[in-house]
Chains A and B, each alone.
Chain A
């Protein structure tokens, strides 16, 4: 029958990722499958947040982990699923890295805002600004020389990745998170910068090591299933 063996092209635009923008979505309502997927990913982030804090035992303190490995997850989920990934980041932190490790609802609800900001900014910067300048908004150019036939610039991709996500956004997040904990009296005044450094480097390390693994291992799978959001919502 006609159509068999043809290659399906993602886009007629300049870059293979040009379909992924800052619009609201595909113009379709959220399907039941997507609805379920977003709920399940929030559950996954909750578990991973919890494991990020407790698995490293002596290397974590008061909700701060020196290897906060859930961080790259909700970054990647946001790049795939927009607002749902951001929601997952927030709820994941409140429940998994807050309530389940004993921080109480007030403290958890407040300092989880610092986990909401990084994916939000990353989504806007990459899809709104960098995607039209040859940088893949799905970060495949961190690991692949080519994306759907388009040659990538891995060096630029890594430099921007570390500068934007690893340094700038991470620093903002650490400042916010540790600041909130300080305001609530959870941190000794003399220890602010020690905690800040723990937060900053804990996230940075996890981001550099795990993001490429996730992107390489899963983005293609998610895209093949048609599950990458075109915009914020769908």
Chain B
């Protein structure tokens, strides 16, 4: 075969030819032969490679989604493999035939006598070949939509004999071919651009749009399914039976009643003040107070000239308790409450009747030792994820003795002993409610909650709307130390984002427009509300003597919860009267 090739080479050493990529280059016949063979190999390899990637993807998806591939499609793929082999064999056969020079059907009679006509015909043919080649390029680069492909394919198979293009120039009806090529070009140029498809009504649609619509549809379906699953789960959990519906109605009724009660106007404040002063006087005169005025001033400090004694939270995490004690201290009822219920014995121990001012209260005995710093059982033990407890001793709040007794009495009543470690973390209104009993009613306005992902979040009081929003404004506009005792909690920051993480590490934060820094996840006492200037005064339990006055909007931005109680003054005064009647 090599000899034959050499022979051919001798016949036409070099020739100007149209290469597959339409460029006119000088090549020997052997080069053209080799190129055809090697490029065919490359073409088949590239096709196989592309197919392999797609088949892998399809098989993976088939496995994951458990969707079997149709037998018909499998057969079509296998047929396609056969087609490649057939095409390859045909190419080899034809090249061999050309090399051997035994291709008889290429030998034809030339009927053209006119040389000029022949050259024109040749030129026309060459042009045509050029156009056909650019058609191949277009088809091969796959820039056509499937509709155009089918159309072209039909035209070629239906209108022309499939071999016509490859016959000798003299056998070809160039008019037919030219018409065909024109039509094919029309098809290619006329419809849509690559990446577009044509609908039945000839409207051109961008594939990107269709794809994004499909993706959106798919996502919305998935979201909907998740939502439905969640709903189903909730319904399952709630099991809304008739009984539960009744309970719900009952709960709503209570809530409405509670709401109504909260809006209820307090008895005239001067009247309460007068009644309390009168009662205190009578109790004092009859020696029914457990603590004298002098002792009261000794253990709690004088409030004369509006100066409140020092009270500072130390290294125990009971900010809520210290804040609540400070909130109580700000109440005009404080003196009556502690003087009727607290007593220092001669041995230095204390008797505290809890609830305060309740004749049926439980007496809690506090020894002087219980007011001293305690050894920390968890010293140097791991605290949280990355820190260690570095407090060798747990110190009670710093301040007058009476406050320390109240703190210790609360802890002892709740935990059975003055376990300061156990008392870490809590809510101010719990403290107040325990000390005040039935005379104190919980009045919470809370924005903190668990979100849909189950994470705890503290969006702030400003986010409250509806009934809660109304109650918040009502609370601020009607706050009266005579009626309310309140602690307020700052926002809590988990390390969800960079800002939160920095705030957590710094240990303080500031909301927009505020000149004060606040400690996150901390309880403050609310000591005063200025309704005219619309400001709130809060005190940090770390140093209760320092007042922090902030406008309403910054208050709502900074704090997430109001943990308060509302004093039932009638009940409180009745309790005091009962002490009198009991003595009588």
Are A and B bound to each other?
no
